[in-house]
Amino acid sequence: MARGGAAVSGGETPAEKKGWFARLRAGVSRTSNALSDNLTGVLTKRKLDEETLDELEEVLLKADLGFAMADRIRALSKSRHDKGLGADDVRAILAEEVARVLEPVAQPLELDDAAKPHVILVVGVNGTGKTTTIGKLAHLFARNGKSVMLAAGDTFRAAAIDQLKIWGARVGAEVIAKSVGADPAGVAFEALERAQASGTDVLLIDTAGRLHNKGDLMAELAKIVRVLKKLDETAPHTVLLVLDATTGQNALNQVQTFREIAGVTNLVVTKLDGSARGGIVVAIAETFGLPINAVGVGEGIEDFEPFDPHDFAAAIAGAGQENDAAA
């Protein structure tokens, strides 16, 4: 199966990469500043005894890095203490461990060249930024020379339909939409028919995200998948879950739930700039091992880039500058 047309692949110039890293670092500054301050406070007030190690572990857990990461950093800090370990050394250890965990999951969102269109079903709870993510993805696909169509499958919220239409106009993508209350599966079916007929490269389908009514949501998403398969038995080719970093540990529950409901294959993490809990990305990677295609650190159309594990690790830990080797 031929692959290609990565939505969020590399290829940026050094200047663009530097600009993105600056935005990433600024975006996760709340996480890195809180970590840095707390690490310094813990590691400079006394020797690295068990009580201090307990406090170090608590600092890491408060950043939502997860129990596995916190345990490893604690063990590594303890084993290297004889070398005169300080706060900067712990930050360096943290950056190294975070990058190691994230490297296997930091993958571009690739398109199947054999699929016309490649269907991406976008799921997630309301408020995570699904519609904005769809718009940003559409922009990136179009920038890479792909034709794009959008489907307004969240028919329960007029605002979601209107927002998708605005994004469609902005990026030059046709939007298939019906009135509020229409059958989401019908919207998806019509969109795929139109996309197939026009030879569109990518179809992005928005969906509702009402987890308080899990049974209805499960039935709705299952119906969307069924009708898509009537036209293309391989669709959807990607089920993309959009997560809001500000929800912290609850993001783990969302991944588990949407894996059960929709068979999630890929992840995007948004709103890293609004959270002091950016470490949740690490906990998600370590727990589920799903590909993380991109992170968002703002509302701008350019505030959305490939997920670089080294850049992210350095930004979160506040350890060092841009990793040119990872470029």
Binding-site sequence positions for GTP: 124-131, 206-210, 270-273
Rounded alpha-carbon distances, angstroms, from residue 232 to 146, 189, 227, 263: 20, 10, 9, 17
Report yes or no: 245 and 215 within 8 Å, Cβ to Cβ: no
Residue 225, both tokens: 């998948």
**312, 319 Cβ separation under 8 angstroms:** no
What letter does residue 252 receive in the DSSP assignment?
H
Alpha helices in the chain (DSSP H): 14-27, 29-43, 50-62, 67-79, 87-102, 130-143, 158-171, 184-198, 214-231, 250-262, 280-288, 309-317
Peptide bond into 14 cis (omega under 30): no
CA 223: distance to chain centroid? 25
What one-character DSSP code corresponds to residue 321?
S
- C-alpha 143/C-alpha 127 separation (Å) is 26
Residue positions forming the annotated binding site: 124-131, 206-210, 270-273
**Long-range CB contacts (within 8 A, 24+) of 154-159:** 154/130, 154/184, 154/206, 154/207, 154/208, 154/209, 155/179, 155/180, 155/181, 155/182, 155/183, 155/184, 155/187, 155/208, 156/180, 156/181, 156/208, 156/210, 157/126, 157/208
CB under 8 Å to 52, separation ≥6 — which residues? 42, 43, 45, 46
